[in-house]
Chain A
Amino acid sequence: MVEKQEQFKVQVKDLHKSYDGVHEVIKGASLDVAPSEVVCIIGPSGSGKSTFLRCINKLEDFQDGHIYLDGIDLADPKVDINKMREKIGMVFQHFNLFPNMTVLENITLAPTQLGKEDKQTAIAEAHKYLKLVNMDDKADVKPSTLSGGQQQRVAIARALAMKPEVMLFDEPTSALDPEMVGDVLKVMQNLAKEGMTMIVVTHEMGFAKQVADKVAFFHGGVIQEIGTPEQIFDHPQKEETKSFLDKVLNV
C-alpha cells in the first residue's frame, strides 16, 4: 500500500514507548487524523492515552515508530522539534499558566520571544483570542486570581496565539469543578466548528459524542477501536470497549 501521508494532518505509525526500556506503555499505536478532524481518545485511566498524546509534540520521547505532521517525521533527529511545536498547540489538565506573568503576558510570551510578532501585534492578537474564549476582561490580572475554568480558557487562548495547525487537549476538564466544565467545552466546540484539527484525550463522553468526528478507544497501550461516535458508542466491536463504556455510561 502506498502511504499518502500528505492527506493526513497528523499520522502516528506503530508508536512504541517505554520509560524503563523493559515495559512498554505504548505498544505499537497508530492513528490517522485528517485536516479539520476532531478525534477524541477515550479509555481507562493508566491505559497510556495521555502518554500517547504527549508523544505527538514530543514532550515524551519514544523509542520506535513515526509521527508525521504534514508528512514531516518527528522521529527524524534532523527535524527541529521547537519549530514543529510551534504548529502543535497543547492544553494541559492543570492549565500550567505562568504564575509570574499576567494573563496577557502569558499569551504574548511565545509569539514575541520566537519572533513571530512584534509586541504591538502580539498584544492585539492576544486580545482577539481572549475575546474568543470570553476572558478579555481579565487580560491584566495574574492567573492565581482566576478560577480553574477561567485559567483553562486562558491556556487555550495562549496555545491559539501561536496559530497552531493542530491542537492537543490532555484531559482539559478533569481538574475542573463541574460547573466550570461547560464553558471550557463550549470554547473547544467553537474551535472545532471553525475547522481546527484537534486530538482530545477526555472523559467527557457527551463531548465526544457531540463534537468528535472520530472516537478512539485506547486500552493496553494501543488503539483498540476507532470509528464515528455512533460506531463506538452504539456498536462497539471489542469486549474491552463494551465493558469500559458500560462502566462510564451507567454511572
Chain B
Amino acid sequence: MRFAKIKQMLLIPFAALLMLVALAMPGQAQAASKKTYIIGTDQTFEPFEIQDKKGTYNGKKPGIDIEILREIAKHEGFKYELKIMSFNADVQALQSGQIDGVIAGMSVTEERKKTIDFSDSYYNDGVVLAVAKDSKIKGLKDLKGKTVNVKTGTTGSLFAESIRKKYGFKLKYYSSSNTSWADVKAGNADAAIDDGPALRYGIANGTGLKIVGKQMSNTPLAFGVKKGHNKELLAMFNHGLRWLKKTGRLQKIVNKYTGKKAVKSQVVADTSIMGLLKSNAGALGAGLWMTVKLSIVGIIFAMLFGLVLGIMGIAEHKFWHGIANVIIYIFRGIPMMVLGFFIYIGMPTVIGHKIPLFTAGVLTLMLDEGAYIGAIVRGGFESVDVGQWEAARSLGLPYYKALWKVVAPQGFKLMIPSLVNQFIITLKDTSILSAIGVMELTQTGNTLIAQNFQGFKMWLIIAVMYLVIITVLTWISNYVHKKMKI
C-alpha cells in the first residue's frame, strides 16, 4: 500500500531522464522543414578558426574556414549552426551523426577518406617544425631523443608519427595547438610539429616560438561529411566553392589572413590582471554562468538519482540492493570524461538522434556524481542505529514509513558533511565537461588563452573564480547545516 508512494518517488528521476531525452528531440524534429545543418568546427585554430572574445565565430575576423562557410551558405541558401569542439571530438561527432559536416582546417588523408566524404580542396597546407626562440634545434636532424608536441588527430601528428622512428624523437599529444605551443615555450618540450599557417599566425601574435626548416608536407584542406551521408550538403559546398574560386573571393579571404597585411588577433593592449578581467569580462561571466548553471542543475539531478540509488540500496527487498550496487559500481568506475564522451558522442549512434550539449553534460554529472551520492545516502541510512528501525517497526509502522519518518531524517543529518563535499566536487567536475566542448569556465579559459596567450594570468583568474564560487557554496551549505541543527 505504502509501496506505491515509494514507487512514485523512484519514478521522479526516470521521468526527469525522459524529459532530458525529450529535450533532445527537437534536433531531429526540425529536419522536416528548412534544414539547419550542424557544422562542427575547431576551437581557435588560427588562421582557420579565430574565436572572438565571447568564444563565438560571429565577429568580422572569424578565420578562413568560417568565412568560406559563411559565403557558401549565403550563396547556396542553406542555414547552418556551428558546434565548437576539439578537432578530435569533431571527427567523432561526425561519425556518430551529432553533426552534419566538419570544417576545421581538416587535411584530406587516405585514412580519413575511409570514413569521410571530402569536398574539393580550398587550401593547400603543410606542416612545419617550431621551437622556442632561443632553441638550438635547427631541423629534424637535431631531434634525436627530444620531445615533440603535436595536436591529437591532426595531419601534423600523423606526419610526426611517420618520421618519429627515423629521427628518434618522442611525441606528446595535446588537444589544442595553443597548449602544445605554450608547453614548448615553457621548455617542457623541445619542439612542436603543427600546421604551417596556424603556426605562422600564432608566431605573429606572440607565441614566442620560431619556425625552423621548410614546410615538410603539402596536403589539401577540405570540408567533410560522414561517408555516404549529407550528399546534398556536400554538393552545395562544392558548387559554392567553385563560385568562390571563379570570382576570386576565395583568394581574397585567404589573403586577408595570410597575406602581408594579415589580420592580427585582437591584440590585448592591457595584459595586467585587471586589464584582462576588463577586456574579457563578458566571456568570463558567460563561462561562470554556465558553470553555475551546470552545477545547480547537475547537483539537483545527481541528488535525485543518488536518492533513488540510496533507497534502492536499503530497500526491503534484497533484489534492489544488487541493482543499486551494480549501478554505483559502473558509474563510480568510469572516468567522468569517458562517460561524457560516451553520452555525447557514443549514445547518438545507438538512440538515433542527437543529444544537446547541455543535456549531455547534465546527464554525465547526474550519473557520475549521482553514483557517489547514492553511496553516501545508503551509508547515511545504514549508520542510523538499528534500534531506531526496531522501535519504529515494533509500533506497526511499515518498512518505508519507518524509513521515511524515522530513519531518513536522522540519516540525512549524518550525510550532510559528505553531501556538501560531493557538491563541491560536482562543481569542480563541471570543468571536465570542457572536453566535450561545453563552454563553461574552463573551456572559456582555453578559448581566451588561444587568443591572448596569457596562460599564467588567465588560469590564475579562472582558479580564483572557482575558489570564489566554491566558497559561496560552502557558506550556503554551512548555513543550511546550522539551520537544520536548530
A residues near B (Cβ < 8 Å) are 57, 59, 82-83, 85-86, 88-90, 92, 94, 96-100, 109-110, 113-114, 155, 158-159, 162
Contacts and interface: CB of A to CB of B under 8 A. Distances in A.
Given A98-B406, A109-B405, A113-B401, A85 B396 contact: yes
B395 A85 contact: yes
B317 to A, nearest CB: 15
Contacts of B393: 59, 85
B270 interface: no
Contacts of A97: 391
B409 interface: yes
Nearest to A109: B405
A99 B394 contact: no
Interface residues of B, number: 18
B161 interface: no
4 shortest A-B CB distances, which residue pairs? Answer: A96-B391, A86-B396, A110-B395, A96-B387
Contacts of A96: 385, 387-388, 390-391
A59 B390 contact: yes
Contact of B391 (A82, A92, A100, A114): A92
A110 B397 contact: yes
B415 to A, nearest CB: 14
Contacts of B396: 82-83, 85-86, 110, 114, 162
B395 A109 contact: yes
Nearest to A86: B396
Contacts of B413: 100
B410 interface: yes
A113 B391 contact: no
9 contacts: A85-B396, A88-B394, A89-B394, A92-B390, A96-B390, A97-B391, A98-B392, A114-B397, A162-B395
A100 B409 contact: yes
A98 B401 contact: no
B398 interface: yes
Contacts of A100: 406, 409-410, 413
Interface string B393-424: 11111100100011001100100000000000
A109 B413 CA distance: 20
B390 A158 contact: no
A113 B390 contact: no
Contacts of B385: 96
Contacts of B388: 96, 98
Nearest to B387: A96
A99 B410 contact: yes
Interface in B24-59: none
B470 to A, nearest CB: 30
The CB with the most chain A CB atoms within 10 A, among B387, B394, B398, is that of: B394
Given A59-B393, A96-B387, A109-B395, 10 more contacts: A82-B397, A85-B394, A89-B394, A90-B390, A92-B391, A97-B391, A99-B410, A100-B413, A113-B405, A114-B397
Contact of A94 (B387, B395, B397, B405): B387
A158 B395 contact: yes
A86 B405 CA distance: 17
A98 B405 CA distance: 10
Contacts of B395: 85-86, 89, 109-110, 158-159, 162
B397 A113 contact: yes
Contacts of A110: 392, 395-397
A99 B388 CA distance: 9
A210 B201 CA distance: 101
Contacts of A88: 394
A92 B387 contact: yes
Contact of A82 (B398, B405, B406): B398
Nearest to A114: B396
Contacts of A109: 395, 397, 405-406
A110 to B, nearest CB: 4
A96 B393 CA distance: 11
A114 B387 CA distance: 20
B405 A90 contact: no
B320 to A, nearest CB: 19
B386 to A, nearest CB: 9
B366 to A, nearest CB: 29
A158 to B, nearest CB: 7
B394 A59 contact: yes
Contacts of B398: 82
Contacts of A155: 391
A90 B394 contact: yes
Contacts of A86: 395-396
Interface string B198-218: 000000000000000000000
B18 to A, nearest CB: 32
Contacts of A92: 387, 390-391, 394
Contacts of A85: 393-396
B359 to A, nearest CB: 38
